[in-house]
Amino acid sequence: MTVTGFYWLGSRNQKRGALLWLTVASLVFYAWWRPVNLLILLLSVCVNFLLGRIIRNRLLANLSMTKPLLAGILFNVLLLGFFKYTNFFIENLNFVFHQDIPGRSIVLPLAISFFTFTQIAYLIDCSQDRCAGYNFLDYVLFVSTFPHLIAGPIVHHRQLISQFSNQDSFRFRPRSFALGCTIFLVGLFKKAVLADHLALFANTVFSLASHRFPLTAGEAWTGPLTYTLQLYFDFSGYSDMAIGSALLFNLVLPLNFNSPFRAVNVIDFWNRWHMTLTRFLTDYVYNPIVLSITRRRLAAGKKLMSRTSLDIEPFMVLVAFPMLVTMFVSGVWHGAGWQFIIFGMLHGSYLVINHAWHQVQRRMGQDPSQSSKAGRQVARLATLMAVMIAMVFFRAPDVKTAWFLIRSMFGSHGLSLPHGMAAHAAFLKALGIQFRGFVTPESGLNTNEVLPWTISLFAIAWFVPNLYYWIQDHTTDFQLPSGDVFASWWKAFRWQPSIPWAVSTAVLGVVAVLSMLSGVREFLYFQF
Amino acid sequence: MNESAAVCPDTAYRRYLRVVFLSLLVLSVPLCTNFIFLRHADEITGYPELIRRQRDQGTLYGSGLNSTFFRYKLQLVRDVRPDVIAVGSSRVMQFQTRAFRASFVNAGGAANTLNETRMFLDEMFRFHRPKLILMVLEFYLFNSRFFEPDSYPDHFYDETEITRDKLLSPFAWLATGKVPPRLYAQIVLGDIPSARGTRWPAMGINAIENAMGFYPDGSYFYGGFFQGLSVQDVKFSNTLERIHEGKRRFEYGTDIDAKRISELREIIAVCRQNKVQLILFLPPVAPAVLRCMQEMSEQYQYVDRLNTYLRSLDIEYYDFRDARSLGGSDCEFIDGFHAGNTMHYRMLQWVLKNRPHSALIPYLNAEVFSPIVAQYTGHAMVPEDPGKLNFKEVDFLQIGCSKDSDVVSAIKP
């Protein structure tokens, strides 16, 4: 209905009408779950729009805009903080001061983290003369366009609002619509069929860990293995659905995932995983900190970093510190809990180590981007292991459970190997190793289900080109930033507007809808 | 969107879209047909509506999808507000309304373990307190080797929800022949046949095709077995195998489990708190099965200990395990450990004759027992409305029972 109305108005040259129609549809979509959320969204949008105007007017009048900018950032941080972090704050206050202040019953408005971040970026850009004088309708639609509103991708105002003025956006274009449908249905399949099935295994392991069930190493690893995959297929599936549904309206949203499990190091991983968040944190947290420190050091006549320098002090100040702060913000943004902070700091540490290693490599005259094929596979595996360990903190309900699970992963409750290995490695029994299956029956996990799902989905995530590779003959809107090289025979399977592809896409859609009628249906990133 | 990358003409993309939407439509048709089938067969009808129609039209309800009856039986109690209810597992489901002069609901099948019974009673007491509860005690519930779950997610199962498994079930039924294509088409077109072999209106595919389902009073009709449409425990082989292997409710045990005893005491206490008369009984098993269990009495020591314990309680209690002591036989059983209707009438008749001070006496419809028991001796089935039956009970256990007497019209409802 929304699509029909949009193009009907567009065909009658009612451009503003079409945008208004899409805005109303987006707001109705947002209010559907909890209408009161709409008031919070509209309050946030109105305040930020007004502050953006004030900042821009002051900028044009050569007046200081520090106060309205700080007021805007403070408003956004307080709004987010109230809804997301009040209870976390109370818990810690109670712990530190031995108080018993009761927690508040606060329902987190959908997508508050997403729309708060995009609007902070808008205010900062206004203060740096990087935003045009948008009208209110364009601004509301930029924040609330339903495809990206709930769980991203995090969209930059210039990227989206510029498309609202394009006359072609209001004309029905079969190519855009065909690609949109395909991307949407593939995304739905990834979420509803693949991710939701993996959730059954991941939930079991994390639930057992929270009840301190003595998990064997194999069982414990099943948790982060399946959860990492689940989160990838869930969130990338949602991002595909967002990108696909935006394309139905001729709107292009940025890529959010680019085969992250092919990453050869953690820096590479963050360039492929939740790419729009990485870009946001780089532009609005990391770069300003580095810039500020660099200016101060220059003013003080202190040494800066060179590409081959091994000096610890500038590295710590100019790389490690901004990186840790940025990933701390990332952790806090993801959730209210110490486990999220640890998740962020763990990734911050990985990145610092990664950057340090690159410095060492450059100093030794090596190119960090070059390595042997085998070396790349080992690097991928090591990266994946590091990511999975951090994921334990991301998924666990609390730090204690995460720590319990990590200890189990490293054998604190023993190791059990498949029955078939008993005959060949009986000597291991003396070391306390059991032969009761990779996972034991007591855990409730079924090896015959867990292993095929996990292995085949990792193989897909690792070796198969992602969706945007398949469609790149038909659009230049989604530039794949990394130089992944796939075997040439994959080209034979690239997407074509052909009958087999059409039927296959429809089958994926129907299977996905059927799967949605059972089991888990919540998008993991809705909580952010 | 950038136009420069287009490698195909618009017509190709238009054709692609047409095929996608046509395929979606084609693939949706069978699913929509299944949805109509399930809706017409009342497989996704809510319990309040089901029970209202059951009570209005005397319908048999037997779902092919739902096998948990906790909420169904609670709804039945909510609607009827009976003075007497029978509570327990499937082994209590053969008590029928006509045995009672007071209002009655058979809540059998809703409380299969002790903690589930407690949950059922707690839920029921929130809105209704019957005067008397007739509660079956399964001997195996008191054996620690019989698994008792901590929680019952099925209680929250929404019978009206459309799920993938529900939508796909008719395909499986068609493939396995459980639903013949002709019946499928008939139901899709809205022509719902009576329960097979009867003239009772039916809701749910199990009632329609197999004549298996609940009467409006909550008692269960095993029409498929009685007609010989399906056989389950021929010569009690299945039950005897369980006993010989000590599994599936017949696990071996020495002592009664203290935790389960404590759960029973809580049930008794909660009934007393709510001023509800509670009568406990151990239900009969087929004589052949009882004989086998007695031969293996070493393995089932806990059963006699349970009986001794229950006798020591200050509560009305009956040990009906021995069907022969009630005048019954193997022929009056549905399988090795599910007594048929006739045996249930025999139990109540025994109380009527031998326990004049029983709390049950004021609620019993004394006139019906003798004629029913006389007429249906050797039969498992006592039909609610014999005039609507088009079949006679067969020797479905294949143990040589004579089922020749013409019971179809002998007893008027």
Domain boundaries along the sequence of chain A: 2-172, 173-262+397-485
Beta pairing class for B338-339 and B333-335: antiparallel
Residues of A in contact with B15 (CB under 8 A): 497, 499
* Low-confidence winner among A300-309, A391-400, B203-212, B320-329 (lowest mean pLDDT): A300-309
Chain B residues within 8 A of A168 when measuring between CB atoms: 1, 3
Judged by CB atoms closer than 8 Å, whether chains meet at B19 and A515 is answered as no
For A236-263, write each residue's pLDDT tens digit.
999 999 999 999 988 889 998 888 988 8
Mean pLDDT over A26-37 rounds to 84
Which of B16, B34, B35, B165 to substitute to test the interface with A, most A CBs within 10 Å?
B16
Among chain B residues, CA nearest to A193: B164
Residue A528 pLDDT > 80, yes or no?
Answer: no
B88 is a domain residue = yes
Whether residue A307 has pLDDT greater than 70: no
pLDDT of amino acid A346: 93
Nearby residues of A248 by Cβ (< 8 Å), 6 or more positions away? A3, A176, A177, A180, A181, A184
Establish if B175 belongs to a structural domain: no
Model confidence at B161, pLDDT cuts 50, 70, 90, reads confident
Decide if pLDDT at A20 tops 80.
Answer: yes
* B52 shares contact with chain A (CB less than 8 Å): no
Pick from A517, A520, A521 the residue to mutate for testing the B interface (most B CBs within 10 Å): A517
Q: How far apart are CA A456 and CA B192, in angstroms?
A: 46
Residue B290 maps to a domain: yes
Q: What is the pLDDT of residue B412?
A: 36
**More confident position, A427 or B350:** B350
- Give yes or no for A442 touching B (CB within 8 A): no
Residue A441 at interface with chain B, using a CB cutoff of 8 Å: no
Q: Is residue B361 part of a domain?
A: yes
Portion of chain B with pLDDT greater than 70, in percent: 96
Chain A touched by B151 (CB under 8 Å): no
Rounded to two decimals, the ipTM of the complex is 0.80
Question: Is the Cβ of A173 closer than 8 Å to some Cβ of chain B?
Answer: yes
Residues from chain A that touch B6, judged by Cβ atoms under 8 A, are 175, 474
CA distance B226 to B244: 27
Interface test with A, best of B4, B11, B20 (most A CBs within 10 A): B20
Residue of A nearest to B18 (CA): A502
| Sequential DSSP letters for B154-216 | GGG--TT---HHHHHHHHHHHHHTSS-HHHHHHHHTT--PPSTTB---EESHHHHHH-EEE-T
Domain at B371, CATH number: 3.40.50.1110
Among all residues of chain B, which has the CA nearest to that of A509? B24
Q: pLDDT class for B287, splitting at 50, 70, 90?
A: very high
* Closest-CA distance of chain B to residue A478, Å: 10
Residues of A in contact with B156 (CB under 8 A): none
Mean pLDDT within A389-416: 87
Catalytic residue among A197, A274, A334, A355: A334
Quick: pLDDT tens for B251-283.
Answer: 999 999 999 999 999 999 999 999 999 999 999
- Locate the chain B residue with the closest alpha carbon to A501: B16
Q: Is A405 part of the contact surface with chain B (CB cutoff 8 Å)?
A: no
Chain A, nearest residue to B161 by Cα: A517
One-letter amino acid for residue A134 of the chain: Y
B270 falls within a domain: yes
Contact assignment for A177 to B1 by CB distance below 8 Å: no
Report CB contact under 8 Å: B168, A502. no
How many separate domains does chain B show?
1
Q: Residue B94: which domain range?
A: 67-156+231-409
Q: Is the pLDDT of residue B300 over 90?
A: yes
Q: Is the pLDDT of residue B4 over 60?
A: no
Q: In whole angstroms, what is the distance from residue A216 CA to residue A412 CA? A: 8
Q: Which residues of B touch A506 (CB under 8 A)?
A: 19-21, 23-24, 27
Looking at the domain assignment, is residue B182 inside a domain? no
Residue B253, classed as helix, strand or coil, is: strand
pLDDT tens digit string along A368-379?
A: 777 777 888 888
User: Which of B15, B20, B28 is the closest to A181 by Cβ?
Assistant: B20
Going by C-alpha positions, the residue among B46, B43, B59 that lies closest to residue B205 is B43
Active site residue A334: yes
Instruction: Specify if B35 maps to a domain.
Output: no
B14 CB within 8 Å of a chain A CB = yes
Question: CB–CB of B102/B84 below 8 Å?
Answer: yes
Which stretch of A184-193, A277-286, A440-449 has the lowest confidence by average pLDDT?
A: A440-449
Q: DSSP characters for B62-126?
A: --SS----HHHHHHHHHHH--SEEEEESGGGTT--GGGBSS-EEEEETS--SHHHHHHHHHHHHT
Mean pLDDT of A133-140: 85
Q: Do B19 and A503 touch (CB under 8 A)?
A: yes
DSSP state of A282: I
Contact A505 B20 (CB under 8 A): yes
Of A88, A155, A94, whose CA–CA distance to A332 is shortest? A88
Q: Which of A136-145, A480-489, A493-502, B355-364 has the lowest mean pLDDT?
A: A480-489
| Pairing, β B277-282 against β B316-319 | parallel
Domain for residue B323, yes or no? Answer: yes
Assign residue B218 a region (left: φ > 0; alpha: ψ between -120 and 50; beta: otherwise).
left
Select the highest-mean-pLDDT range: A15-29, A286-300, A325-339, B264-278. B264-278
Closest CA to B398 of B238, B267, B241, B265: B238
